[in-house]
Structure 1
Amino acid sequence: MDFVDSWGELRQIVDGLKKKQFIQKPNHGQAIQQISHLATKMKDEELGAQSSICHCELAQIYSKMGDPNEERKQWERAANEMKLEEKRHHHNKSGITCPWSSDASSCYARAIKILMELKSLKLAGMVSLEAAKHSLEVESYIASIEHANRAVRLFEGERLCGTDALRVLATAQLKVGQIEALLDTLDQLWTLAMKAWWNSTPMGKEVQKEADIATMLVICNRKPRQGRQKALKQLFEKGVEFDEAGFPKAPSDSALSTSEFLAVAGLCGCVSLSQKSLAMEMYSKQCHAFFSDLCKGDFPVAN
């Protein structure tokens, strides 16, 4: 397929619709069929950005036809095509001029807006989370924060999706240095773990552990806030407890195992004393294996 010819064909179809609306009723059905065929051909040729623009055009047509659900689907398809292209080229956008913003985040935002208007809030949350993850992956952190914040609101009280959204939000906030906002998010993550997994399931403990470690890595060399963060820092500063046989054990209030508690306490102690080389050694030998991706991202900030 010659791309220039196909692009010209697309413009001819779209321009034809615009001209016909002044003379006769446009044949939207025929245009949809033709543009859909072009989108498939461009996708087969691995022209993701161009295929995305075809879906943007289709979304505009469905909007004129008063079909918001199909319009939303086309914006999502446009986002998915552009997402693959952005991952390939890391924001090296196509040089084609499009009358609408055609990056994945903007396409997702249009789809989400329609879903919100249709009161399909759970699906809007899912698309928001997908958009947040993609924006994070291509280092568009502000967009990721915007999408993740929306996902957090829409998934309020949801265990799995809510946890996932908070993790993405915390990671993006960390990347742009929004430390106070990050601490708020980690508090939310911890609270969700405590509320949603009140029966202390293994997954709940893992989320609580993740929130505690990530928080400690941020506050170990700064003054903690009142409440949970202050209590957490005091817990680690107090150190281990001892059982009846005299063996050390993690405090009963901690979700960490004894070995994990000792490793994190030692690591945070090194960080607070600015012993960077020792902290790096402890991290690689004792902590890396059980740190989540969020905690691994936190460690360079702490160090």
Structure 2
Amino acid sequence: MSEVYHDSWLVYKNIYESTRKKFLKKPNYSQALAEYNSLSARFRDEECHIYAAFCHVQIAAIHEILSDWSQQYTHLLKAARLFVKAEELDAELCTAVSSDCVNVMQDCFNKATKLIFEKNGVWLAGLHQTELGNCLYKLGHARLALKYLSRGVRLLEVEHFSRLAALAKLAECQVELGLYTDAIGSIDELWATHMKCAPNPSFGYGKDLLKDCEISCVLLLIRNRGYMMVSIFIIFLIIIVILKASETSPRHRLLLSMYSECNGEQQNKRSPILSADEFPLKDSALSRDQFIHFFDFIVAIQKGDTKKAKTFFVKMKPYLNDMCCKIATELICITRNNGCV
């Protein structure tokens, strides 16, 4: 015999009606919870993630009535992540994305964050805000994501590694929105946090982190300041102005001076065979090959030489993260269009 079909949405409505208070009749919450969980599993099997999410929203509401904050918190997170899955599936299938779904997703994450924060779960609260910001960013809501990523960074001051990851994602979001000055600040904070907390900053994961910080900071400084040259004379004038600018931090001045053509001329005067101690400069976190490729790219951008910039970009692309690739590509496009930022 074939299985009798039950309209899942009608089942949902019946369960919901059973939990409403009626005259002289107490709702059977235990039965409703079991039915909601069963229905949620059915919706997930059918890849109806948004309906499964609403089941967990109702489960969380019942646990709130029962004063069970732990289960309420758990199911709010389940609902939020199912809403994310629904949005991702809509984006993948190029179907219309419901703004209401995005709003309910934010509401679930924020309620879960509030619950765990009130129980002194500051680290978890920060993780949830960062997770929400990251999800919104991936779904194309960078402006919305910004406030949650910023909030996550503040809450994650209690844990070093989570804070580093949150700062990196915040900087990426700021670059996407064209907030280059803010992105520089986030990268500087990322670098300073790592240097302060890590016993050996250049060991293990720190080596790649410092490399990413150096490359992204130089690219952002050039992108933000219009540090693009069309002649050797202008190059020297701009370098002098930048080095004397009071608002430029000592670290920024050092980074810009490392990748100025003055160092390129010194390089040409040296022996053709350079040891690792001579090149790159001792203050750089890059390897010899990485430094040479990045240095040549920056000089090509400064001179407005699009062809060379593209060549060196291809060479250095394997060790660039997504954010650095985006900024470098923007610099090449600007150079091609008008020769200056």
TM range (shorter): 0.7 to 0.9
Unaligned runs of 5+ in 1: none
Q: Does the aligned pair in 2 maintain the 1:125–1:151 contact within 8 Å?
A: yes
Paired AA for residue 15 in structure 2: I
The answer to whether 1:188 aligns with 2:189 is yes
Q: Does the aligned pair in 2 maintain the 1:220–1:269 contact within 8 Å?
A: no
Q: What fraction of aligned residue pairs are identical, expressed as a percent?
A: 23
Alpha-carbon spacing, 1:236–1:157, altered in 2? closer, same or farther (3 Å): farther
Query: In structure 2, what is the equivalent of residue 264 of structure 1?
Result: 294
Q: 1:289 pairs with 311, 318, 333, which one?
A: 318
Paired AA for residue 325 in structure 2: K
TM-superposed CA distance for 1:51, in Å, is 0.5
Q: Does the aligned pair in 1 maintain the 2:123–2:159 contact within 8 Å?
A: no
How far apart in 2 are the matches of 1:82 and 1:261? 44
Q: Does the aligned pair in 2 maintain the 1:189–1:208 contact within 8 Å?
A: no
Q: Which runs of 4+ in 1 moved over 6 A?
A: 1-4, 240-246
Q: Does the aligned pair in 1 maintain the 2:18–2:28 contact within 8 Å?
A: no
Query: In structure 1, what is the equivalent of residue 213 of structure 2?
Result: 211
Query: In structure 2, what is the equivalent of residue 11 of structure 1?
Result: 13
TM-superposed CA distance for 1:2, in Å, is 9.6
Paired AA for residue 283 in structure 1: F
Q: Does the aligned pair in 2 maintain the 1:183–1:215 contact within 8 Å?
A: yes
TM-superposed CA distance for 1:64, in Å, is 1.8
- CA RMSD of superposed structures (Å): 2.8
Secondary structure at the counterpart of residue 24 of structure 1: coil
How far apart in 2 are the matches of 1:33 and 1:61? 12
How far apart in 1 are the matches of 2:300 and 2:4? 61
Alignment of 1:15-164 (within 5 A): 15-20=17-22, 22-90=23-91, 92-93=96-97, 101-103=103-105, 105-156=106-157, 158-164=159-165
How far apart in 1 are the matches of 2:192 and 2:33? 48
Alpha-carbon spacing, 1:3–1:293, altered in 2? closer, same or farther (3 Å): farther
- Count of aligned pairs between the two proteins: 298
Alignment of 1:162-173 (within 5 A): 162-173=163-174
Paired AA for residue 239 in structure 1: N
The answer to whether 1:235 aligns with 2:258 is yes
How far apart in 2 are the matches of 1:3 and 1:183? 58
Secondary structure at the counterpart of residue 249 of structure 1: coil
Alpha-carbon spacing, 1:30–1:264, altered in 2? closer, same or farther (3 Å): same
Paired AA for residue 265 in structure 1: F
TM-superposed CA distance for 1:197, in Å, is 2.5
- TM-score after normalising by structure 2: 0.78
Query: In structure 1, what is the equivalent of residue 222 of structure 2?
Result: 220
Q: Does the aligned pair in 2 maintain the 1:86–1:92 contact within 8 Å?
A: no
TM-superposed CA distance for 1:74, in Å, is 0.8
TM-superposed CA distance for 1:288, in Å, is 0.5
How far apart in 1 are the matches of 2:149 and 2:327? 18
- TM-score after normalising by structure 1: 0.87
TM-superposed CA distance for 1:52, in Å, is 0.7
Point out the more displaced range, 174-183 or 232-241. Answer: 232-241
Secondary structure at the counterpart of residue 156 of structure 1: helix
